[in-house]
């Protein structure tokens, strides 16, 4: 049975890395001693080692060790043997590119479908959807496919931003971009605001956090999903 935490972000304003999620993570990863970290998204271009150290320092606060997938000679075997898995944020194009390059996307999907606990933040949450086409990231590399894990039956737009009233910025809003997506694609898109996350247990998906999420469906008006509500 799937057991996922799909978070919009790793860090909220005024808080350290994963700090706002630590109480939830402590109960979610109960009895887990070591988490396998997938650092492929490389935020700001940092190395896998640097990124893994950041995750390690955060999880040390709840007495859980972290080991990077790049430290293993066989990444598939690392995923198959993992007690739990965390995929961090960064650039979704590069994350998906490396999952395909290392031939671990299907392996990761299979272990998650079979119940290995998983945390995704930002790009690591984007890949939980049907495809990665609602990422906000620049296409710095060209992955073999935009198809991702499909562990939830819709796409995620992480870091979802509402239009700022009175702003003089004339660029496209997130809602505008998602409307453009829906001209050619039928799958639903969930705009997940900062500090919000989804708890997935089997087929049950519940919105958590203090803020609502915005659900976009083709040919329909967007609707607000209240925290605590199932999707």
- Residues serving a catalytic function are 122, 137, 159
Find the helix or strand (DSSP H, E) in which 178 lies: helix 174-184
**Distance separating alpha carbons of residues 198 and 141, to the nearest angstrom:** 28
**Distance separating alpha carbons of residues 231 and 51, to the nearest angstrom:** 32
**Distance separating alpha carbons of residues 52 and 120, to the nearest angstrom:** 14
| Whole-Å CA distances, 38 to 53, 85, 163, 212 | 12, 8, 33, 28
Strands 197-201 and 204-208, sheet pairing: antiparallel
* Burial (CB count <10 Å: 0-12, 13-18, 19+), residue 192: buried
């Amino acid at each position: 049975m799937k057991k996922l935490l799909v978070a919009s972000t790793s860090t909220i304003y005024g808080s350290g890395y994963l700090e706002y999620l630590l109480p939830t993570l402590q109960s979610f990863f109960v009895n887990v001693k070591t988490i396998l970290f997938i650092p492929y998204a490389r935020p700001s271009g940092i190395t896998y080692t640097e990124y893994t150290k950041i995750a390690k320092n955060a999880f040390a606060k709840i007495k859980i060790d972290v080991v990077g997938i790049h430290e293993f000679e066989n990444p598939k075997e690392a995923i198959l043997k993992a007690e739990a898995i965390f995929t961090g944020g960064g650039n979704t194009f590069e994350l998906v590119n490396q999952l395909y390059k290392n031939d671990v996307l299907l392996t990761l999907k299979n272990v998650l479908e079979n119940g290995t606990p998983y945390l995704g933040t930002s790009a690591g949450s984007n890949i939980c959807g049907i495809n990665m086409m609602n990422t906000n990231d620049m296409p710095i590399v060209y992955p073999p496919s935009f198809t991702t894990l499909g562990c939830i039956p819709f796409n995620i737009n992480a870091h979802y931003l509402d239009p700022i009233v009175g702003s003089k910025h004339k660029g496209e809003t997130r809602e505008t971009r998602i409307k453009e997506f829906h001209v050619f694609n039928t799958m639903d898109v969930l705009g997940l605001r900062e500090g919000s996350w989804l708890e997935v247990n089997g087929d049950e998906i519940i919105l958590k956090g203090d803020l609502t999420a915005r659900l976009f469906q083709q040919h329909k008006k967007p609707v607000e999903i209240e925290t605590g509500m199932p999707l």
